[in-house]
Structure formats: C-alpha cells, structure tokens
Amino acid sequence: MKYVDEYRDGALAKSLSAAIAAEARPDRTYAFMEFCGGHTHAISRYGIEDLLPANVRMIHGPGCPVCVLPIGRIDDAIRLAMRPEVTLCTYGDLMRVPASRNGSLLKAKAAGADIRMVYSSLDAVRIAEANPDRQVVFFAIGFETTTPPTAIALKAAEAKGLANFTIFCNHVLTPVAMRAILETPAAAGEPPIAVEGFVGPAHVSTIIGTEPYRIFAEHYGKPVVIAGFEPLDVMQAILMLIRQVNEGRSAVENQYIRAVTTPGNLAAQRLTEDIFELRDAFEWRGLGIMPKSALKLRDAYAAFDAEVRFAVETQPAADNPACECGAILRGWKKPADCRLFGTTCTPETPMGACMVSSEGACAAHWTYGRFRAHEKTATAPVRRAS
C-alpha cells in the first residue's frame, strides 16, 4: 500500500539499524522516551528494540490516555451510568479499566447501567437525538488529538438544541506531562531515569504543531524528534536523536513532515480554545495531581457539562498496590518488572489500565514482546556518560 509499505521496508530497516549502531558511541549509553502509546505499540509490534544496539534504550512514557486516567474518574463515570435517567457513551477501551471495589464500566453495564460503546463523539450526539427522554453523557477522554472531536460534538448538540446531551470531560495535555517526567523526583526506592530526549507524539503534534516542545530543547536541554507511527519513522527518529546528542545539540526536529506542520491545525486549536479552558489541577495515574494539566468546559458551555449538571465530585481512589502501572507510566519500570504481569494480570483479566488499552505498554508487551528477555529489560537506570 502506497505511503505505508515503504515505511515498513525490511531492507531500509536494516540500513537504519546499521546507521544507528555506527553512530551510537560505544563509550556511553542513550536513553530516549517515546511519549505516545502508538509508538510504544509500534516498537513492540515490529521488534524495534531488537534492532538497536545494547547501549540505546527506549523508555515507555505516559502516552496512553486510558492508562493515565485515575481510578477516581472511572468511579465517577460508573456513578453517572448507574443513575436511572443517564445513558453513558464511551469508547470501548474504557469499558474494562479497573475501578474501585473491583468494579468497571463493563460490570456496571452487566448490572443494568445503560452504557453504550461508541466509535466517535458524534455517535453520542446521535444517541441523544434519538432518545430525548434520556440524559446522554459522553465520556470524553484523550490528549490534544481527541479534544477537537469532543468540541465538534458539543457544537453539533448545540446546533440541534439537544438539552439532554452533556460531556464528562477528561482531556489532558501532553507537554505538561512531558515536563512532569523531567521534574518529578523519583519515588522512594526507585532510581532516577536519565531521559536524554523524546520521540515526540505524532497525532498530538498534528494538532498542536512543533512549538510547544521548544521548551524541552531550550530550557531542559532535551532534544525532541516528532515521529510517525511506522517502524521506519521511529527508527529514523532514534537516529536523529542520537545525532543531536552526539553533537551536543538540543532542538525540536520534525521527522513526520508528511503530517505535522510547525503551527499545527489552527482551526482545531481555535475550536478547542473557544470551548475549553485549563483546570486548576487534575490527577494523573502515575504522575499525581498536576496543575494546569487538563481541560474543562468554559462557563459559557456549562449547560453541556456533566460535572455541573450532575454535581460530580471526584473521590480519590488508590490503585491496586500490587500493580506497577504507575511506575511503568513514569518510565521507571518495564511491564515485565511487575510481578502481576502475565500471571494475575493479562488482557483477559487486567489488574491495571496499562494492560487494557491497546496503547498501554503492558498490553503491547504482552501481545508482541513478552517472550523477549535480554539485558534491555533490566530495571537499572540508564545514566548519561560524563
């Protein structure tokens, strides 16, 4: 298929692998974080780590929106769905995310809650239009990529005069989480991770462009290379990062030029700015409560805000203490380091969100890489050579 097969060419992959091996200095190590669940999936699916020299390490970041959503917000959604007048519309990968007291949206649906899986935000609008006697709540989730579709759904509901449609907003911001990775101190007993550069997210960057990453290059001295999702995209981005590190440079580079532009999607940005504003603070799984890291509906659209209409008050809830999802999202552990991985926790019986979503590191590792065991799975931190 044109524009796909050429980015999966085996001969080109070998050539890129040889170039990476040739340019990675043997007297030092490299540690790069991919900040996108799609990249984590591609790395596992195509065995990219097997094509890298031993001193080049990839670290999985918190790029899975389902994974970073805290249990308390899943509990909120379940409580909303259990209201007799409410129909909750949600994306399918949220259905099995573990909640408090061994609950989940799927179990709530089995218990009688009106929960419907949708493929797009506009599906929820159509359900509201077809069921005027129901209060239809759209469980909105995701990074900057899925925020514009939520805004479009709100505008569509407004144009149709749907008074029975509201949004339970859980949209979060990528650059804030990237900054938290660099600034959050290691938890007790966990070694620091020396992230030397980022493989920048693809879909997010089509919306926000390249400028929001400049702070990481200029202030933190961490190069960022925005990459596409195909295996050769990721490998080329790794090579570009190695070159920047070797040359002592810190810049924002765009490997994904076929989709990402410097300004991004200005129309989507304007729509998002019109409808949403920053929350004072929001909790992320693995990263804790972070200021100005998520969005909420502006007061002008309070009529479409499920948190306002149903007086939602999120109650903090702790993760399963045996689950290492938080440490994996911070990049301090790999999926196989969790004692639940592949035993108690599998895609059929997930104990944590990282095993539920296809973009989660645990799900990707289970599907494509659980039988690979070599020195790169070690938990010892990668330290930058002096």
Query: pLDDT (tens digit, 9 = 90+) per residue, 367-383?
Result: 887 555 443 444 434 33
| Top CATH class, 71-170+294-309 | alpha beta
Instruction: Answer whether 62's CB lies under 8 Å from 68's CB.
Output: yes
Tokens coding 59:
């670290």
Q: For the chain, which ranges sit under pLDDT 50?
A: 373-386
Instruction: Answer whether 14's CB lies under 8 Å from 199's CB.
Output: no
> How far is 106 from 115, CA to CA, in rounded Å?
8
> How far is 100 from 137, CA to CA, in rounded Å?
21
Q: Determine the pLDDT at residue 186.
A: 64
Which DSSP helix (H) or strand (E) runs through 57?
Answer: strand 56-60
Matching fold, domains 5-65+175-262+323-365 and 71-170+294-309:
yes
Instruction: Answer whether 215's CB lies under 8 Å from 322's CB.
Output: no
Structural domain boundaries in the chain: 5-65+175-262+323-365, 71-170+294-309
Query: pLDDT (tens digit, 9 = 90+) per residue, 324-358?
Result: 999 999 888 889 999 999 889 998 889 999 999 88
Which alpha helices (DSSP H) does the chain contain, by range?
Answer: 10-23, 37-45, 65-68, 71-81, 105-110, 121-130, 147-160, 174-183, 203-208, 214-218, 231-247, 266-275, 306-309, 325-329, 361-364
Q: Determine the pLDDT at residue 375.
A: 39
Q: Determine the pLDDT at residue 210.
A: 98
Tokens coding 363:
């799900």
Instruction: Answer whether 220's CB lies under 8 Å from 252's CB.
Output: no
Q: Determine the pLDDT at residue 381.
A: 40
The CATH number fitting domain 5-65+175-262+323-365, selected from 1.10.1040.10, 3.40.50.11750, 3.90.950.20, 1.20.20.10: 3.40.50.11750
Q: Determine the pLDDT at residue 189.
A: 61
Q: Determine the pLDDT at residue 376.
A: 43
Q: Which residue has the tokens 């069921």?
A: 131
Name residue 152's amino acid. I
Residue 375 burial (C-beta neighbours within 10 Å; 0-12, 13-18, 19+): exposed
Cα distance between the two ends of the chain: 45
Tokens coding 56:
């080049």
> How far is 277 from 285, CA to CA, in rounded Å?
21
- If we measure between CA atoms, which residue out of 308, 298, 312 comes closest to residue 154? 298
